[in-house]
Structure 1
Amino acid sequence: MHYQTTIVLLLAALALIAGAYAYSAGPAAPDNTMTASPGPANPLAAIIVSDNGVQAKISIGDVTAYHAKMEAEEDGTMVPGQPEIDPCCAWMYRSLSAGIRALWGDEIPQRSDISVASYLPSCGALHTGWYVTGTGPGMDSATADRFILLRPDGTELTDTSHAARSIIAKNRNADSYRIVLTRISTGESVTVALKEEAFPDRFFALFTKVKNDPAVTKEEVAEFNTVKNAFRDNLVQKPDEDLVIIQR
């Protein structure tokens, strides 16, 4: 009996010590990563900003046309009559839309109050970011906000030439599909990323193969085009809550 009593007292003492330690350590840090709140019924609803007191509605068609124009100027080719939605345009558009809702809610942001940093320096991402923020060539910069590109280590990529951007863009991974959006007036920021299920199977393996391997086969190119289109369809069709992660 004495032995059993000793064991009980010892266990009670250990429980008290553990409880005291847990209290002194404080509560666990909250997880600030969350699925985006449900967005509009139309996943590609217009992004609305206040541009010098005038509401500007920016559509996916606007950014697609701007991207096609910028690529044609860079390549020295004609602008296609009906340009298709580029996956990177769709990704940046959806990310900006979700990030603006996370920071401004139902308010319409001043264009000059938005700051965006993108980890993906692809042409589609850059041109879409330029257009929405008003910072690109041919845009009225009087009320433009801020848009920059980031290297994988988080430092700014100041050389926005195609050659400099391609080195990073060709070696992308899921973490590359992130933007940091800041409300300049308050200093509040959110990081907007994609859920893993947004990427079709073998997307990155095939992307790397097609972009970097001279020995890529026709079959692999065809398979990549299929998964690339599936990725674009996810970005165009899926609701925010199935697509986007918001981290504060």
Structure 2
Amino acid sequence: MKVGKIGIKALVLVLIMFYALAAIAWVTGVEAPEEEEFELGEVTIEDNGTELAISIDEVSEYVTEKIEDAMGSVPEDMEMFVSGAYRATLLGISEVWEGEVPSRDDIKIVSSLPEPASALCFQYITGTGPSMENLRAENGVFEIVLQDGTLVENTSVQHLYELSKNITADDWKFEISSISTGESFVVEVKGDVFPEDFFGLREKVVFGQTASEKEGQEFTWEWSDINDGFQGFEDYEIFEGLEEPAPDSATIVALIAVILAIVILALII
């Protein structure tokens, strides 16, 4: 009788071990889909009946030209502001229009960030930027409204450049909305996207205050890392209020199976 019980227990152990190994193989199998690398898409809008796919390079070229025209040169961190505004636009449009292509004259963007490169990016998207506003009968709307509710009426490059001296992480908020429906979505960059010393370094390096060579290098590294994140990280990693996508259901089932097998095995032993 005792031998029979031992034999049954051994059979159960073998079956459980086989079940656990099969589940592990399922989780780690070669057929499991590989995680896709993030790819920065294009902002797709309709303009006068024509569908346009606006790339970040196209926006960056426009912004560079307008800032150089106004100031003679561009701040070294310009690209970071373009990337942040561009990503905010992509997310806002996807949330408000849910896969549909918005008309340029239906897009309204309200930014809390008083800074020229991001402003020019939004102006390009809405068709309200310098040399663009007279190309069509109707354009979208772009405004800068500070955190205290003040509307910035002077959106010239030079004025916004001066205002940007005192920006913080809290200013990186953008409301994208549909003029026709009133539906809107607020895009807010996570505070931890920016290193703790970033805005202090920016003020010293960009605005001509005394900055050491080391501080200049640190600032370049920091804004470059932020820019890489804006162009390469998933939305939930850089914007507030978004959840990380749930794991594949098959993976969850397999992991549960492994855990149950281990628990049962422990109880029997």
| TM-score in terms of structure 1 length | 0.75
**Which stretch has the larger CA shift, 41-50 or 120-129?**
41-50
Mapped partners of 2:57, 2:104: distance in 1: 19
Contact 1:99 1:190 in 2 (8 A): yes
Aligned-pair CA distance for 1:229: 0.7
Contact 1:52 1:143 in 2 (8 A): no
Q: Which runs of 5+ in 2 are unaligned?
A: 1-35, 243-269
Going from structure 1 to structure 2, the CA distance change for 1:217 and 1:85 (only over 3 Å counts) comes to closer
Going from structure 1 to structure 2, the CA distance change for 1:43 and 1:198 (only over 3 Å counts) comes to farther
User: Does residue 55 of structure 2 align to residue 53 of structure 1?
Assistant: no
> Which residue of the partner structure matches residue 196 of structure 1?
191
Other structure's SS at 1:156 match:
coil
Q: Which runs of 5+ in 1 are unaligned?
A: 1-39
User: Does residue 141 of structure 2 align to residue 162 of structure 1?
Assistant: no
Q: Deviations over 1:118-142 (max 9, x none)?
A: 1112121011111111111222243
**Which stretch has the larger CA shift, 237-246 or 227-236?**
237-246
Aligned-pair CA distance for 1:209: 3.0
Mapped partners of 1:246, 1:132: distance in 2: 24
Which of 99, 102, 105 is matched with 1:106 structurally?
99
Aligned-pair CA distance for 1:84: 9.5
Aligned-pair CA distance for 1:92: 0.4
Please give the residue correspondences for 1:1-248 in structure 2 after superposition, counting only pairs within 5 Å: 42-76=38-72, 86-139=79-132, 140-211=135-206, 214-245=209-240
Greater helix proportion:
2
Mark the structure with the bigger radius of gyration.
Answer: 2
Contact 1:49 1:110 in 2 (8 A): yes
Count of equivalent residues:
204
Going from structure 1 to structure 2, the CA distance change for 1:141 and 1:121 (only over 3 Å counts) comes to farther
| TM-score in terms of structure 2 length | 0.69
Other structure's SS at 2:142 match:
strand
Greater strand proportion:
1
> Which residue of the partner structure matches residue 21 of structure 1?
none
Mapped partners of 2:51, 2:91: distance in 1: 18
Contact 1:43 1:239 in 2 (8 A): no
Deviation beyond 4 Å, 4+ runs, structure 1: 40-43
Other structure's SS at 1:115 match:
strand
Contact 2:116 2:156 in 1 (8 A): no
Aligned-pair CA distance for 1:109: 0.8
